[in-house]
Chain A
């Protein structure tokens, strides 16, 4: 019975594939300006203005905006984040995906069931000072990615600092094992939350990963639109991902 269902689903998929292949336009006949990629390219920091690209080499950014003048370019205190999250958000999504793929690869190659021991007791000074330093390091990492749009930093450095805290725990305690289930679920949910922000931008602003929230006063914590939210998701995702990598490096197989 289950095999019958599988065959039905497969037949349906093959039928849909053929139907969609038939509706594809011929090579060279595609109107690129009507495709999503052209809409994405036409995405300005302040608006979505498809006409700018249809007009060819004139490239006049007309004042007619779909979402009005927002000034994301100059209203984020850290200019780099307005480039990374507003102009090149698709690229950042790709980087996050590459990191996810490499973490999966490391898990496949190095993962195991048992925590690897060092064969000797960790340094006494390290063990004592970990208790003092660990909360400070985690707080610093969270500070970096929460304040990514105000100060130098952002999701990737903040997540790396959090992973360094997990590495410190591994180095200072031979019995410590990170909870892989929590880290994996946090990683997955944060990665999909980033895509959900992108889809929300597509629904409200007109382009994938469009900065759809209003930006407040420059320099305050809740400003620059969607940038702090995206950086929080990236920071938590990178932190849990690299913590998982650190945990998998410290694992070994039985025997």
Chain B
């Protein structure tokens, strides 16, 4: 077993762990915004790690996996941000434990 396969397996395990944390966050977090944050952060990092792990374990896929990582980095946060803004503007309240709401008033830039 060569070194790059070991590194790839470790990255795959880290990615699976982050996916697990994302699922746990969606199950345990109190409101939409926290769930969205847990899901997006965990799955973005999990996708980076698993895809990079595949790319390192199989070096012929490395360029493709780097492009996939770039696409996920470009799209996933944007989608999450749009979802969060749309749910805020359509009137979904954050949970009662929220202390600071910097977006109050609709966020006119």
Contacts and interface: CB of A to CB of B under 8 A. Distances in A.
**Residue of B71, B82, B89 ringed by the most chain A CB atoms within 10 A:** B82
B74 A123 contact: no
A129 to B, nearest CB: 5
Contacts of A5: none
Interface residues of B, number: 12
A121 interface: yes
Interface of B: 71, 74-75, 77-78, 81-82, 85, 89, 106, 108-109
Which residue among B78, B106, B108, B109 has the maximum number of chain A CB atoms within 10 Å of its CB? B78
A120 interface: yes
Contact of A121 (B78, B82, B109): B109
A17 interface: no
Contacts of B89: 120
B74 A126 contact: no
Given A121-B109, A124-B109, A129 B74 contact: yes
Contacts of B85: 123
B82 A123 contact: yes
Contacts of B81: 123, 125-126
Given A120-B89, A120-B106, A121-B109, A133 B75 contact: yes
A161 to B, nearest CB: 13
Interface string A107-146: 0000000000000110111100100110010000000000
B78 A126 contact: yes
A133 B106 contact: no
Main SS of chain A's interface residues? helix
A230 to B, nearest CB: 28
Nearest to B89: A120
A35 B81 CA distance: 59
A8 B71 CA distance: 64
Contact of A133 (B78, B108, B109): B78
A196 B78 CA distance: 43
A125 B82 contact: yes
A171 B79 CA distance: 12
Contacts of A171: 82
A124 B85 CA distance: 10
Contacts of A124: 109
Contacts of A129: 74, 78
B81 to A, nearest CB: 5
Nearest 6 interchain pairs by C-beta: A129-B78, A125-B81, A123-B85, A126-B82, A124-B109, A123-B82
Contacts of A125: 77-78, 81-82
Most buried by A among B81, B106, B108: B81
